Amino acid sequence: METKPKIAVLYHLFYEDTFVNVGRELQPLLDFETCFLFNICEDTPGKKSIVAALQNEFPGCYIIFTSNKGKDIGGKLALLNLFLRSKEEADLMVFLHDKKSLQALKSSRWKKDLLKIITPENCKKIIRMFRENKDTGLIATKEYIIEEPFTEGKFSGKNGIMLERLLQQYEVSSPVNSFVAGTMFWVRAKAMIDFFLQHDPLEVRMDLEDGNILDNFSGTITHSWERILSWVITSQGYSIKGI
Amino acid sequence: MNSTLPYYSIRPSLLIQEIKDGSFFNNYKLNIILGHEAEFTPQLYSIVNKLGNKCIISLSAHLLKDLAKLQHLLPEIYTLLALNKISAEKRVLPVLIDGREQPQFINIEVLQNYLIKQGLTGIQLPVFNCSENGLQTVDDCSLFVVKDQLKEVQYAGSEMLSNSGMVNITFSYELIKEIEINEPLINNINDFERYRVINSAIPSGNTHEEELNWELELWKRRTGLYKEFLSLSKHIQEQEYYDLHNWYKNEYEILPLWYKRFGHIIKVIMGKRSFKSLFSDKVKKYRD
């Protein structure tokens, strides 16, 4: 009989009204041996109700409060730090957040698409994909696996200069330039853990920008790490798969 | 939890043991005093997470003295603060010195700077003096602490008030257990007087009014954020409109007129446009 994998869910909450959906969204993951870790942005009003609701839906879950630094990426790095220090165990990790992207017209469609990875059918399918393909390191909604522009031997997008510097600093060398936009994905936990045992996630977090930064007009360290989180996996020889 | 209750000081080892034995008094609020590097354990993180707003964290100055050791501890301390809802929200992390150390020789600034870099700005690290001789400096306060771990000092709350502008005291968890078991002791240490002192001191969760004011402030900030989103949204959509417009112009508009007209005939042949619409604007052009 196949053993159920241990799963760690790292979920960042920024908005005051999204927690009412979290229980429903994450319901399929309760069928597994799952450890839930939540980060609530300290700027979020109504944290008491959010904490009470999360503790009610996910007894034993970890909840931290952190400042609005690096948006969901900063929150997920703080959760990675907590995961490592709490010595919880996991075979697979799921990175999620309460994406709204209010500045964008197609935001509700984005969120719906990105959450395809935790429907009951897809959870089972993804777990099977990880089990059957040992080289699969990351699985996300296929439409959101996009290619970072790379021309004349260097990254040419808005985040290009920062990407070059950070990849060198953290010795990340990915054979592919595709990454998961939106940072909601499943990942083989070992690959993520191995990297962040070498590089303290809180050290990375320190350099991220404060507040609700966007990369519509210029590059940011935060959006560079949005890309690097995928490449942390691919640089270890694993591949990215879409669903 | 009743916000008028004081915090009882306790070392992590005792707390873990108490929980393990099932003898932990769950209705207490605790001040968990960390005095050694080895006390930052996964078990402690789990307990602090479960205690929620029932505990605060304090550090022994001993932990901050050695800069090299402190560097390793910084992420551990931050993790505890992020887990501890009161410390994270109230921005207070008490530091205890035992009288042998001088406050200026402990690396409070190093810790403070690290926390600021993690976004925990404005955090206060009030220094509490637990000196043996009972004398208090103007800015320091005294604590009841666990026997044999740090020096136990027991001052009357009134004396402390007269010597300090901001008096914060907590009780030893062990002492309180003794008191509860042996009731007559309460009279001896004038316990109720101390409760009163404590209530006005340590950030014992907020009063209801303070909490409401803080929530109101967060809602105001949130309203500002949504306004920003609206303005940004307009800006981004304008840019997208012009990008699309330019794309259309470069890809299609610059083609010669005859070529574009020929394209419309192709559309009719492909069934994408009605034949009649080539000659009249009053006819339906495209299928729904």
Evaluate whether A150 touches A218 at the Cβ level (below 8 Å): no
Decide if B185 touches A, using CB distance below 8 A. Answer: no
- For B118, which of A51, A86, A202 is closest by C-beta distance? A202
User: Is the separation of the CB atoms in B60 and B150 below 8 Å?
Assistant: yes
DSSP string, A44-109: -TTHHHHHHHHHHHSTT-EEEEE-SBSHHHHHHHHHHHHHHHTT---SEEEEEE----TTSTTHHH
Contact across the interface for A64 and B82, Cβ inside 8 Å: yes
Task: Give the global pTM.
Answer: 0.80
User: Residue B126: what pLDDT?
Assistant: 73
Interface of A with B in 126-165 (CB under 8 A): none
d(CA A65, CA B86): 10
Confidence check on the interface: ipTM exceeds 0.90, yes or no: yes
Cβ–Cβ pairs < 8 A, chains A and B = 90
Compute the distance between CA of residue A79 and CA of residue A65 in angstroms, rounded to an integer.
Answer: 10
Query: What does the angle CA A216 – CA A220 – CA A226 come to, to the nearest 5 degrees?
Result: 90
Q: Is B215 in CB contact (< 8 Å) with chain A?
A: yes
**A85 interfacial to chain B (CB closer than 8 Å):** yes
CB-CB under 8 Å, B232 with A51: no
List the single best residue of B83, B87, B215, B227 to mutate versus A (max A Cβ within 10 A): B83
Residue A139 clears pLDDT 80, i.e. is over it: yes
Instruction: Indicate the pLDDT class of residue B3, thresholds 50, 70 and 90.
Output: very low
Residue B192 has pLDDT above 60, yes or no: no
Query: What band does B88 get if pLDDT is binned at 50, 70 and 90?
Result: low
Question: In this complex, do B45 and A43 lie within 8 Å of one another by their Cβ atoms?
Answer: no
**For residue A103, what pLDDT is reported?**
58
Kindly state whether A82 is in contact with chain B, defined as any CB-CB distance less than 8 angstroms. yes
Interface membership of B79 toward A (CB under 8 Å): yes
Averaged confidence pLDDT in chain B: 71
Confidence band of B84 (pLDDT split at 50, 70, 90): confident
Closest C-alpha among B31, B60, B201, B203 to residue B130: B60
Question: How much of chain B, in percent, has pLDDT values that exceed 90?
Answer: 24
User: Which of A79, A86, A210 best tests the B interface by mutation, with the highest count of B CBs <10 A?
Assistant: A86
Q: Rounded CA gap, A209 and A69, in Å?
A: 6
More confident residue, B132 or A134: A134
A 93-122 residues with CB below 8 A of B? 102-105
B49 touches chain A (CB under 8 A): yes
Beta strands in chain A (DSSP E): 6-13, 33-41, 62-66, 92-97, 136-140, 145-147, 150-151, 154-155, 178-180, 185-188, 239-242
Nearest by CB to A81, from B75, B117, B225: name it.
Answer: B75
> Looking at the complex, does the CB of residue B52 fall below 8 Å from at least one CB of chain A?
yes
Q: Return all residues near B238 (Cβ < 8 A) that are at least 6 apart.
A: none
pLDDT of residue B183: 37
Count the residues in chain A.
243
- The Cα of B124 is separated from the nearest Cα of chain A by a number of Å equal to 16
